[in-house]
Amino acid sequence: MTEFEPGTVTVVIPCRDEAASVGLVITSLPPGFTALVVDNGSTDGTAEVARRAGAEVIVEPRPGYGSAVHAGVLAARTELVCTLDGDGSLDPRELAPLVDAVRAGADLAVGRRRPASPGVWPWHARVGSALVAARLRGRYGLPVHDIGPMRAARRDALLGLGVADRRSGYPVELLARAGAAGWRVIERPVHYGPRTGGRSKVSGSLRGTVLATGDFLRAAR
Residues 130-187: tens digit of each pLDDT: 989 999 999 999 999 999 899 999 999 999 999 999 998 999 999 999 999 999 999 9
Q: Choose among 144, 87, 139, 81: nearest CA to 111.
A: 144
**What's the residue count for the chain?**
221
Helix (H, G, I), strand (E, B) or coil at 80: strand
Domains of the chain plus CATH, in order, are: 9-219 (3.90.550.10)
- Determine whether 72 is exposed, middle or buried from the number of CB atoms within 10 Å of its CB (0-12, 13-18, 19+): buried
CA 193: distance to chain centroid? 15
Residues 27-45: tens digit of each pLDDT: 999 999 999 999 999 999 9
pTM of the model: 0.91
95-120 burial, b for 16+ CB within 10 Å, e for fewer?
Answer: bbbbbbbbbeebbbbbbbbeeeeeeb
Residues 180-216: tens digit of each pLDDT: 999 999 999 999 999 886 565 554 445 555 665 566 6
Grade residue 78 by pLDDT with cuts at 50, 70 and 90.
very high
Answer whether 77's CB lies under 8 Å from 144's CB: no
Q: Give the number of other Cβ atoms within 10 Å of residue 144's Cβ.
A: 23
